[in-house]
C-alpha cells in the first residue's frame, strides 16, 4: 500500500505505484504517473503530464513538470518522462517539452540531479549522468550517457554533449562537446579527454585509441571534418568512430583552440 501522508495533495486520476511514499505538503497532479517504490519529499510538486519511473527519490521542494519557461508555450499537451532510479535533489526544476521540440522532455535512468539543477523544455538526458549543484540546461539540450556537468554551469540551448564527456564546474558551454572529452572555461573549450571517466568505463586499448584520435583531431591543426572523415575510414575503434561521427554531425560546432600543424 502506498504511504501517502494525509497532509499531501494527490489529485484524483493520479496513478500511484506500489510502495510509493509521498510526504506531507507534497502535491501530485491528476495526470501524473508515479512508479513503484518512488519517494516524494515534503513540499515537492509533481505537475502536469509527468511520468516518473520506479525507485526514484524526489527530495523536498523539487518542482517536477511545471509548464515550460518558453514564451511560445500556450497550453499545449506536453510531457515530462523520467526513468528509473533517479535522484532529484532539493529545489530542482524540470520542465516538460514544447510543441516546437516534439512535446517531450526525457530523462533516462540512474541520474543524479543535485540541488537547484534546472532541466528545461525538450531536453533529452541519457543514463548515469551527474549534474552538480545549480547546473542549468536551456531548452533542446541533448546529453548522452555517463556525462558529468559541474556546478554553476549553464548550457546553451540546442547544445549536444556526447557520452562520457565532462563539463567542468563554473563553465559556460555554448557549443557541442564530443563524447569522451573534457571541456572547461567561460566560454568552455576542449581541454583534453575525460581520462578519469574513460578509465572507469572503457578498456585500455579503447582509451589509447581515443588519445591518438584526439590529438589528430584537435591538436594537429588539420581541417577538422576532413580529419574526422579520414579517421572514420581508418580506425577500427568504435569509440573513435563515435567521436568522429559526432564531429561530422555537429550543428553548433566544436569549441577547441585551433593550433598550427606541428608535423
Average pLDDT over residues 50-62: 98
pLDDT tens for each residue of 111-138: 999 999 999 999 999 999 999 999 999 9
Please, which pLDDT band fits residue 1 given cuts at 50, 70 and 90?
A: very low
Instruction: Residue 235: give its domain's CATH number.
Output: 1.20.1180
DSSP letters, 95-119, are ----GGGTSEEEE-SS-EE-TT-EE
Q: pTM for the complete prediction?
A: 0.96
Do 143 and 29 share a domain, yes or no?
yes
DSSP letter at 212 equals H
Do 153 and 219 share a domain, yes or no?
no
pLDDT of residue 259: 72
Question: Is residue 260 predicted with pLDDT exceeding 70?
Answer: no
pLDDT of residue 236: 97
User: For the chain, how many structural domains are there in total?
Assistant: 2
Q: Which of 196, 252, 187, 242 is nearest to 217 (CA)?
A: 242
Residues serving a catalytic function are 121-122, 139
pLDDT tens for each residue of 166-223: 999 999 999 999 999 999 999 999 999 999 999 999 999 999 999 999 999 999 999 9
Instruction: Residue 41: give its domain's CATH number.
Output: 2.160.10.10
What distance in Å separates the CA atoms of residue 94 and residue 219, rounded to the nearest whole number? 38
Q: The domain containing residue 77 runs over which residues? A: 3-158
C-alpha distance across the termini of the chain, in Å: 69
Q: Which of 216, 177, 215, 217 is nearest to 197 (CA)?
A: 177
Q: Which residues pair with 130 in a beta bridge?
A: 112, 148
Do 140 and 218 share a domain, yes or no?
no
pLDDT of residue 255: 98
Q: Which three cell numbers stand for residue 43?
A: 513540499
Burial label, 12 (beta-carbon count in 10 A; 0-12, 13-18, 19+): exposed
Amino acid at each position: 500500500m502506498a504511504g501517502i501522508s494525509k497532509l499531501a495533495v494527490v489529485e484524483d486520476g493520479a496513478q500511484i505505484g506500489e510502495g510509493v511514499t509521498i510526504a506531507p505538503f507534497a502535491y501530485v497532479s491528476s495526470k501524473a504517473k508515479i512508479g513503484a517504490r518512488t519517494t516524494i519529499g515534503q513540499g515537492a510538486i509533481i505537475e502536469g503530464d509527468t511520468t516518473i519511473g520506479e525507485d526514484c527519490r524526489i527530495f523536498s521542494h523539487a518542482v517536477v513538470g511545471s509548464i515550460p519557461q518558453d514564451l511560445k508555450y500556450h497550453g499545449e499537451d506536453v510531457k515530462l518522462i523520467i526513468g528509473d532510479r533517479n535522484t532529484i535533489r532539493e529545489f530542482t526544476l524540470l520542465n516538460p517539452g514544447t510543441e516546437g521540440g516534439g512535446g517531450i522532455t526525457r530523462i533516462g535512468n540512474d541520474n543524479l540531479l543535485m540541488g537547484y539543477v534546472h532541466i528545461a523544455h525538450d531536453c533529452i538526458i541519457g543514463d548515469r549522468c551527474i549534474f552538480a549543484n545549480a547546473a542549468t540546461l536551456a531548452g533542446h539540450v541533448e546529453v548522452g550517457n555517463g556525462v558529468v556537468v559541474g556546478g554553476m554551469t549553464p548550457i546553451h540551448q540546442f547544445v549536444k554533449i556526447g557520452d562520457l564527456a565532462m563539463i567542468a564546474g563554473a563553465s559556460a558551454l555554448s557549443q557541442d562537446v564530443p563524447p569522451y572529452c573534457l571541456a572547461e572555461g567561460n566560454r568552455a573549450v576542449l581541454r583534453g579527454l575525460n581520462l578519469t571517466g574513460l578509465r572507469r568505463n572503457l578498456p585500455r586499448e579503447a582509451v589509447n585509441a581515443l588519445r591518438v584520435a584526439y590529438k589528430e583531431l584537435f591538436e594537429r591543426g588539420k581541417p577538422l571534418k576532413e580529419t574526422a572523415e579520414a579517421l572514420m575510414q581508418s580506425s577500427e575503434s568504435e569509440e573513435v568512430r563515435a567521436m568522429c561521427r559526432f564531429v561530422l554531425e555537429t550543428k553548433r560546432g566544436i569549441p577547441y583552440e585551433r593550433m598550427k600543424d606541428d608535423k
